[in-house]
Chain A
Amino acid sequence: MIKLSHVNKRYPNGHEALKDVSFDLASGEMAFLAGHSGAGKSTLFKLITRIEKPTSGQIIVDSQNLSRLKPSKVPALRREIGVIFQDHKLLFDRSVFDNVALPLIVIGMPHDEIKKRVRAALGKVGLAGKEKQLPITLSGGEQQRVGIARAVINRPNILLADEPTGNLDESLSNEIIDIFSDFNRVGVTVLIATHDLRQVERLGKRTLQLHDGELVHDGELVDTPKNDSSNEEASL
């Protein structure tokens, strides 16, 4: 579903975010992407959603070669991928309903259908009845869940989550990761970037570990790597 071959990404300022990264995530697989801040997790997501282009190497998403993807095909690619952002990326002047409905509005779905789907999605993330509220009136965890509802509303084949449990307590983190597991169980390919190793250990899924832009581990984590949070600010 997501296949990277020898992908390098160097930003114009010279920073090498990814160095020769290769992996293959099969359809319906669920994996974690671990690594310190600045290890290249966000860059990887930006490459998969075609926000950035790799400096070299090949990325294939849903059997489309992203280096050959025409700009006009980018929206279609992004509709296949539900993304949960670390900073939520919600529209703060729009209601929860409008935020969650956005991916359906852009594909021109009839309003009645949108209503049904938004209700269902909000119910799934435990925000039923909060449609009319503005995101600013919600807690951080609730805002995160609005983002999740928006990411899954269009039933994407791929879910990417960037630090979805960022500053949530343990029980809330478990809840959110379990939501992703649920989607994975119905066939959605899920990739979760996190440095929350409790979750990685708890689910025991395949883990791709990045360190300074290099893929240093691919598979189930056996050993908890040391010094993971000590060099948080290291490379950014």
Chain B
Amino acid sequence: MSAYFSRHLQVLFSTLGSMRRTPMATINTLLVIAITLLLPSLLYVTLKSAQSLSSNWQGRPQISIFLQKNSSDSTAQLIFEEIQLHPSIELAEFITPDQALAEYRLLSDNNASLQQELAFLGENPLPASIVVMPDRASAKPEKLLALKEELSTFDGIESVRLDLDWTERFNAMLQVFSRVSVLLSALLGLGLVLIVGNTIKLLIFNRRDEIEITKLVGGTDTFVRRPFLYYGALFGFLGACISLGFLLLAANLVEEPVSKLAELYKVNALVHQVSPLEIIAVLLIGTLLGWLAARWSVAMHLREIQPR
């Protein structure tokens, strides 16, 4: 067992050694791999950040509850108190018809015809209303819809309006973005396999003599294949390391502008912090793809090389 490990260790170091003997070619390959891996990682981080933005949204949706036009002040007060006590509701504000009218006037003060129509009606056409803000836990679309349904059943309530458009649109956009990201990542992964596979192919043909002679003195296919598999896996692993470096650099670069933007929109936006588990995942994916590429390349080309 220890002989087995020491043999592998030997191949590992000799592979690292031969990589170091051709620094330019190695760095080129590693950079290509790093950039190919960087794009999916960037998409992932962007997606994660956007998702956290959507769930941490400070400007939570408001629900406007319009009371029946003929309800008395005391009924309205009762409904208001009941709503205030509802466990899913964090904040509720009562708006009297007069307040609503004043606000309406304020908002439409540049529109002369609307003002005229209002004057023509004579009395205030607006009902009393309650604007509520659900608590954080209830801010998800399906919960909001349930809350809306519940509120509609209250006595004395004419209608309940919930503006879900923003979350729905945002989530729909995120879904499209996530699908496109997955597709793009798969394509880039395929590209990575092709790049590494081709590099390994060149290595195999560069070492043709060595392979022939090794087979002549009784080297098994497994033995001949091993250094190339190490090449592939090491390319993938080192490429992934460089890619992670780039990713952290990129995250650092956008952090400040993002927080400035977030401040302007009064949202709590954060660039997704890459976790140790995600780092391990990137390294594993890189190593695995490199190994697979080498495996494929070796299967394609090693058989062609036989002693003559």
A residues touching B (Cβ–Cβ < 8 Å)?
49, 51, 72, 75-79, 83, 89-91, 102-103, 106-108, 110-111, 150, 154
Looking at B28-36, B105-113, B153-161, B214-222, the stretch in contact with chain A turns out to be B214-222
Beyond the given A51-B306, A91-B209, A91-B210, please list 8 additional residue pairs across the A-B interface where CB-CB is below 8 A: A49-B307, A75-B221, A90-B213, A106-B214, A106-B217, A110-B3, A111-B10, A154-B217
A77 surroundings in chain B (CB, below 8 A): 218
Instruction: With CB as the reference atom, state the residue of chain B lying closest to A103.
Output: B217
Report the minimum CB–CB distance from B19 to chain A (whole Å): 15
A103 surroundings in chain B (CB, below 8 A): 217-218
| A78 and B216 contact, Cβ closer than 8 Å, known pairs A51-B306, A51-B308, A106-B223 | yes
- B7/A108 in contact, CB under 8 A: yes
How many angstroms from the CA of A49 to the CA of B214 in the assembled complex? 13
Contact mask B198-214 → A, CB, 8 Å, 1/0?
00000000000110111
B306 surroundings in chain A (CB, below 8 A): 51
A110 surroundings in chain B (CB, below 8 A): 3, 6
Partner of B218, one of A76, A91, A111: A76
A76 surroundings in chain B (CB, below 8 A): 218
Interface size of B in residues (CB-CB distance below 8 Å): 21
A75 surroundings in chain B (CB, below 8 A): 215, 218-221, 223
Instruction: With CB as the reference atom, state the residue of chain B lying closest to A88.
Output: B213
B308 surroundings in chain A (CB, below 8 A): 51
- A49/B216 in contact, CB under 8 A: yes
Partner of B217, one of A72, A78, A108: A78
How many angstroms from the CA of A91 to the CA of B10 in the assembled complex? 19
How many angstroms from the CA of A108 to the CA of B4 in the assembled complex? 8
How many angstroms from the CA of A72 to the CA of B215 in the assembled complex? 12
Report the minimum CB–CB distance from B239 to chain A (whole Å): 26
- B3/A102 in contact, CB under 8 A: no
A51 surroundings in chain B (CB, below 8 A): 216, 306-308
Partner of A89, one of B3, B216, B218, B219: B216
How many angstroms from the CA of A107 to the CA of B217 in the assembled complex? 10
Q: Can you list 20 residue pairs at the A/B interface with Cβ under 8 Å?
A: A49-B216, A51-B306, A51-B308, A75-B219, A75-B221, A76-B218, A77-B218, A79-B218, A89-B212, A89-B213, A91-B213, A102-B217, A103-B218, A106-B218, A108-B7, A110-B3, A110-B6, A111-B6, A111-B10, A154-B218
How many angstroms from the CA of A205 to the CA of B221 in the assembled complex? 38
Report the minimum CB–CB distance from A186 to chain B (whole Å): 21
- A83/B216 in contact, CB under 8 A: yes
B212 surroundings in chain A (CB, below 8 A): 89
How many angstroms from the CA of A76 to the CA of B217 in the assembled complex? 9
A102 surroundings in chain B (CB, below 8 A): 213-214, 217, 219
Report the minimum CB–CB distance from A53 to chain B (whole Å): 12
Instruction: With CB as the reference atom, state the residue of chain A lying closest to B306.
Output: A51
B6 surroundings in chain A (CB, below 8 A): 110-111
Closest 9 CB pairs of A and B: A79-B218, A106-B219, A78-B218, A103-B217, A75-B220, A75-B218, A51-B307, A108-B7, A106-B223
Name, among B209, B215, B220, the residue most crowded by chain A CB atoms within 10 Å (CB to CB): B220
Name, among B7, B210, B216, B218, the residue most crowded by chain A CB atoms within 10 Å (CB to CB): B218
